[in-house]
Each structure stands twice: as C-alpha cells, then as structure tokens.
Chains A and B, each alone.
Chain A
Amino acid sequence: MNKHEPTQRTYLGIPVPRPKVAFFELSSCEGCQLQLVNNETTLLNFLSLVDIRAFREAMTEKYDDYTIAFVEGSVTRSDEIERLKKIRATAAVLVAFGSCACFGGVNQLKNRFQDPAWVKKEVYGSHPIETNDTARPLEDFVKVDLKIFGCPVKKEEVEKIVTNVVLGKTIVAPKYPVCMECKANENTCLFDLGEPCLGPITRGGCDSWCPNSRFGCWGCRGPAVDANVEQMQEVMKKHGFSEETMLDRLECFGGFAGHAAEMRNNIKAK
C-alpha cells in the first residue's frame, strides 16, 4: 500500500499530518490487531490517515522509521524485552495496545503457578522452551505513553483515538465503570438474571460489549478509576456468588491483579 501513496489528507482545508505508525506483537493472540483489519469500509480510511510502516496482519513490507508504535502482547521472553526496548528507542509515542500490553492479559494467568518449572515440563515435555516465569505488561520494562484497554480492543475506540491524534485533539479514556454504558444500552442487569458481572468496577469504553449479549463482564479493561472492589465483593456475596467466582474474573486479564492478590490474602487471614 505504500506504493500508492494516498493524497495529502485535509480537514476543513487544513493539511493534517500523516504520522508514521508501526504495529508490533509480543506474546499475544494478535486479536487486537485483527480487530482493526476486520472492517474493510473503515480500514481504508484508517490506513490513509496514517502511514503504516509495519503491520504484519495487513502487509508484508516492513520499515523501521516510525513515530508511533502500537505494541500488542505481554512480555514473556527475554528477547521480547530487547525488542521492546528497541521499539521504545525508535518511537516517539509508544502505545500499549490491548489488555495483554496494558496488564499482561490472559497470559499473566501463569504468574500464579507455584512451580513454573513443573508446568513447563508438563506442557512442553523435553521440548526446549525459552520462556520467563511471568508474563508482564509493557510498562514493567519501558515507559508507556498511552494505553488502549480491552481484550480485544474496540475498533471504534482505536479509530477515534487515532483520528484525535492526527487532528491534535486530546485523548480521553472513560474513567467510569461499564455500568454507565450498560444502562445507556438499556440492558437487563445480569444480577437480575442471576449472573455475575464485574461491570460496576471495570473501566467503561467497550460500550458494555459483553452485557449487550447477556454475558457478565470479566473485567478485561481493568479497574475503573476509583473502583470500589470491596463493595463488589459484597454485591457478589449478596447475590450468592462465591469468592472464587469473583477471583476467577478478577484474575483473568491482569488489570485487577493487585486487588485479587489482596483478596486472596484476606481470605487466607480469615
């Protein structure tokens, strides 16, 4: 696509910059990148808004000059640390793209194994495998300038962010919980239907993706600002859900890792 340079984009007659953007993946399912390419009508607009220098899901050419790096995935191998540091050194803006990059994502489930060596042997046998004992978010190794939450990210949200970057507008992620959007969508509350949901403590912005389909929220976007996790425990209890049910969800994507650890400690202390 770089062969056919689109004409200079303008907004209200004013030329808009076309930042050089690259996508990278560390340990991930590449589902976040897939989100971006799966709607072709807006994909073309998106691609003409930025100058894509690397995007494995969408093109084969690869260039090393970029100012914005979208990094998907968590860090689980030592070579990934090196790669990430190199990306950081090149990019003016580094974006943690999706919940793996922001919190470790589903991969960080392995952080709780008591005996990683045993697990490695059970899973891979004698096959040599180079992997760290923990899956870590990007910010454990490099400075992250912007986080885009979600497992996967929400395409509309990414497009909005990129459009705002190009136009020089401020970027704001919702600070309130999923319930705000869920109520706006007029869903029946999952708790009324007898299902658990982390919506009251999870950061909004997904347009209550799961409750819209009658699935309780699993907290993939991590905690809302000022999330009341203690009260969430009370709500779960009142509705007859066990502490393990809540912990399963809290631990799934890593955003609530601290809260989950504290909860486990409190249970042990009881």
Chain B
Amino acid sequence: MLFRTAEKTELKALFDMLVEKNTVVGPVQTDTDRMGKPLFAFEPVTDQAKLRLDYTTTRLPAKRYFLPFREDLATFTTDGRDWTKTIGYNIDRPYVLFGLHACDINALNKLDKVLMGPVYPMPYYAAKRKNMFIIGTDCRPQPFCFCRSMGADTVLHGFDLFLTDIGDKYFIEIQSAEAYEVAKDLRTETPTEADHMQFMRTVAEMNKLFTAHVDTTDLTKILDMEFQSPVWKQWGDKCLGCGTCSNVCPTCYCYGVEETVDVSLKKARKTKTLYSCNVVDFAEVAGGHNFRPERSTRLKYRYYHKHRGFVEAYEESLCVGCGRCGEACLAGITVPEVIASVRGEEQ
C-alpha cells in the first residue's frame, strides 16, 4: 500500500482522467423522500459536479454493474433446423465505481470468493469484475449501519484507490498498479506526520458514530441451538415475503434462469434473474413440492445462509452490515433485531 495526499481540487482531475475512457458510476441524488431527505443511487456520471461523495448510503447497492437484476446469458437465432447461439458477458466498456464505501467493497470481496472461486467461476460476473476500477471513500456511519460488527468497516483489498477526506485534503491509499499509473498524473504529496494524525483522528471520529451492533460471538453455534426457537415464527408472521431484502443486499447472489422463445419462433433467449430465498417459490421444485412454504422457514433460511452456512464455508459472514435490508424492509425487519432476538436479548 502506498499513501499519498492531494488537494481536494485534484478530485476533478482524477474524475476527468477516468471518464475519458471508462463508464464512471458513482453516487448521485436521484430522489427526495417524504421527509425531505435525499435518496442516493449509483448511476453513470459524466459531470464530476453531480458526484455526491458525501452520500449517506444508497437504497440499492451498485449491484446492477456486477450482478444485473436481469441479464441474458445467451441469445439464439433459429434458421430452419439450424440455430446459432450468441454469448455476451454484457459489458462493453470498463467501469469505474467511484465512491464505494468499505462495506460495499467488502461485499464484492465476498462475492468474488463465491463467483470467481476456483471450481466454477461465473464468466458473466468475472468479466465485469475484471474490468472494474474501484475507488473507495470514507463514510459517516448511519443509525442503521453495523458494518463494524461484521468486520466490514475497513477494507484491506478489493479496491484500486481509497480516498479519505481528512479536512482540507484527501488521504489516498494506492492499492493497484493501475491506480499507481493513474495517481502519477495527479498532483499528490507524501503524507506528513500531521496528515497521519489527521487520518487517525478521522477514523476515530467515524468509529464513535456507530449505534447499531450485532453480537456475532459464537453466532454459528447459537443459530444451531436456536433452530427451533419461537422467534422465527414471530419474524415470519411479520415478513411480507417480498424479496426486497435480497434485492437490496450487496452480497445476495441467488438467481433463476428462464428460457423464452420469441413469438416469431425465430429467436430465443436464456435470461438470468436475481432471486430471493424469501419469496414463496424459491424452494419449489419440479412437480410442485415446496421445501419452504412458510414465510418463517424462508426468513430463517436467509439468516442461516448469511450468518451460519457461509461462515462455515468461508470463515466469514455473508453480511457486511450495510443495513440496507432493514432500511428497505416495509415490515421493519432488521438484522440487529433478528439476531438479538435469537440470542434472547431484550430489544
């Protein structure tokens, strides 16, 4: 890791340099909610002034750029008895993700383990991931953020550049060779001892802001013990089975595949659609049997995959504590509350 500092005005130089040859995606304000608060989303940006590096969080993660909600895996054309298959990985230009928070970069690192692991890497994901330049940025923890509990409040790899706002300048971490090349063309300086102090103060202040926590001590064991706990039924009664929690989750990767023949009978496509273990037909198999027909077993399953099964397989949780699922859940079901209830803690 290489450390540099730069004046804030250099941000524009960095942006302009990258936007020339890449699609730059970053946080922008897309709406205002009924309380007058801004809502942010990751959108392609061509003008640096639109970029809102001071964003709180986004309703949806930058998922569309690495795991699109819908994506053609292959298209087919037929001609008599013949047919032609076309496979595209659905990326035409490199992407720059400009301004991801630590949780979202950690989420990508987790997805990498599953989708680019050694046995069956998923080319559609890998093609996008390998053509991605990631710029991280520091954040102000919100009342629903519990990334610290999940060990996802800092990020050690998985990005190219990381910018921390230390007051009058940016503290820059340079992680990759590409980032080194980019930073060469910026006006940067070697950090002074005072810059180091300022960086540490910034991080310490950020840490003070956390209010939501999840106690992960012995959690896999506790989940094993509490498989029959009555709390699952209580949460299941609340759950709408709407799948929103998975759709807004930066680490949920489940999907369904559908083949459709065009009404002309001359074309067909195989489409992948992201799915959620919380929706009713997720565990329905051919013949109509449903392994998890009740909302409570489905909701429980989601927690067991995130906080037990994945931990057993990868020694880390499949939750980065971004809090998006709880914020988006209309039934008000949040990870800290569910886990606390399983642990028998007062809420």
Interface residues of A (CB under 8 A from B): 9-13, 16, 42, 45-46, 49, 159-160, 162-164, 167, 169, 174-177, 179-180, 183-186, 188-189, 191-194, 199-201, 224-228, 230-232, 234-235, 238
Instruction: Establish whether residues B263 and A175, one from each chain, have CB atoms under 8 Å apart when the complex forms.
Output: no
Residues of A within 8 A of B214 (CB): none
What distance in Å separates the Cβ of B53 from its nearest Cβ neighbour in chain A? 21
In the bound assembly, the distance between CA atoms of A12 and B80 in angstroms comes to 6
In the bound assembly, the distance between CA atoms of A176 and B34 in angstroms comes to 27
B74 within 8 A of A: no
Instruction: Establish whether residues A186 and B274, one from each chain, have CB atoms under 8 Å apart when the complex forms.
Output: no
Cross-chain contact of A200 among B59, B237, B240, B295 (Cβ < 8 A): B240
Given A183-B69, A235-B330, A176 and B59 contact (CB-CB distance below 8 Å) = no
Instruction: Establish whether residues A228 and B59, one from each chain, have CB atoms under 8 Å apart when the complex forms.
Output: no
Q: Which residue of A lies closest to B68 (CB)?
A: A184
Residues of A within 8 A of B70 (CB): 184
Q: What class of interface size applies to chain B in its complex with A?
A: 35 or more
Instruction: Establish whether residues A226 and B331, one from each chain, have CB atoms under 8 Å apart when the complex forms.
Output: no
Beyond the given A10-B265, A175-B281, A226-B293, please list 15 additional residue pairs across the A-B interface where CB-CB is below 8 A.
Answer: A13-B81, A159-B263, A160-B260, A174-B281, A176-B242, A177-B241, A177-B242, A183-B247, A184-B273, A191-B330, A225-B280, A226-B295, A228-B237, A228-B295, A238-B332
Beta-carbon contacts of B63-75 to A below 8 Å, as 1s and 0s? 0100001100000
Residues of A within 8 A of B281 (CB): 174-176, 225
Q: Which residue of A lies closest to B240 (CB)?
A: A200
Residues of A within 8 A of B156 (CB): none
A-B contact pairs, 24 of them (CB 8 A): A10-B80, A12-B83, A45-B262, A45-B264, A162-B263, A163-B260, A163-B261, A167-B261, A175-B284, A176-B279, A176-B281, A177-B240, A179-B240, A183-B60, A184-B70, A186-B64, A186-B69, A188-B30, A188-B31, A192-B31, A192-B39, A199-B242, A225-B280, A228-B295
In the bound assembly, the distance between CA atoms of A38 and B255 in angstroms comes to 33
What distance in Å separates the Cβ of A66 from its nearest Cβ neighbour in chain B? 20
What distance in Å separates the Cβ of A171 from its nearest Cβ neighbour in chain B? 12
Count: A-B pairs, CB below 8 Å: 126
Instruction: Establish whether residues B264 and A184, one from each chain, have CB atoms under 8 Å apart when the complex forms.
Output: no
Given A11-B78, A186-B41, A188-B39, A179 and B243 contact (CB-CB distance below 8 Å) = yes
Residues of A within 8 A of B135 (CB): none
Q: Which residue of B lies closest to A186 (CB)?
A: B60
Q: Which residue of B lies closest to A226 (CB)?
A: B280
In the bound assembly, the distance between CA atoms of A123 and B265 in angstroms comes to 49
Instruction: Establish whether residues A231 and B239, one from each chain, have CB atoms under 8 Å apart when the complex forms.
Output: yes
Residues of A within 8 A of B330 (CB): 189, 191, 200, 235
B248 within 8 A of A: yes
Cross-chain contact of A184 among B247, B260, B293 (Cβ < 8 A): B247
Residues of A within 8 A of B240 (CB): 177, 179, 200-201, 228, 231-232, 235
Given A12-B78, A184-B69, A194-B34, A163 and B60 contact (CB-CB distance below 8 Å) = no
Instruction: Establish whether residues A231 and B64, one from each chain, have CB atoms under 8 Å apart when the complex forms.
Output: no
Residues of B within 8 A of A49 (CB): 263, 265
What distance in Å separates the Cβ of A159 from its nearest Cβ neighbour in chain B? 4
What distance in Å separates the Cβ of A16 from its nearest Cβ neighbour in chain B? 7
Residues of B within 8 A of A160 (CB): 260, 263
What distance in Å separates the Cβ of B117 from its nearest Cβ neighbour in chain A? 26
Residues of A within 8 A of B41 (CB): 186
What distance in Å separates the Cβ of A223 from its nearest Cβ neighbour in chain B? 11
Beta-carbon contacts of B260-300 to A below 8 Å, as 1s and 0s? 11111100000001101001110010000000010100000
Taking CB atoms and an 8 Å cut-off, the chain B residues in 303-337 that contact chain A are: 328, 330-332
B238 within 8 A of A: yes
B251 within 8 A of A: no
Instruction: Establish whether residues A228 and B263, one from each chain, have CB atoms under 8 Å apart when the complex forms.
Output: no
In the bound assembly, the distance between CA atoms of A129 and B59 in angstroms comes to 54
Residues of A within 8 A of B293 (CB): 226
Cross-chain contact of B247 among A10, A175, A180, A199 (Cβ < 8 A): A180
What distance in Å separates the Cβ of A161 from its nearest Cβ neighbour in chain B? 10
Residues of B within 8 A of A12 (CB): 78, 81, 83
Q: Which residue of B lies closest to A189 (CB)?
A: B328
Cross-chain contact of B248 among A183, A226, A230 (Cβ < 8 A): A183
Q: Which residue of A lies closest to B276 (CB)?
A: A180
Instruction: Establish whether residues B238 and A231, one from each chain, have CB atoms under 8 Å apart when the complex forms.
Output: yes
Residues of B within 8 A of A177 (CB): 240-243, 279
Instruction: Establish whether residues A184 and B265, one from each chain, have CB atoms under 8 Å apart when the complex forms.
Output: no
In the bound assembly, the distance between CA atoms of A194 and B34 in angstroms comes to 5
B33 within 8 A of A: yes
Instruction: Establish whether residues A235 and B295, one from each chain, have CB atoms under 8 Å apart when the complex forms.
Output: no
In the bound assembly, the distance between CA atoms of A163 and B263 in angstroms comes to 6
In the bound assembly, the distance between CA atoms of A167 and B39 in angstroms comes to 45
Q: Which residue of B lies closest to A225 (CB)?
A: B280
Cross-chain contact of B34 among A162, A186, A193, A231 (Cβ < 8 A): A193
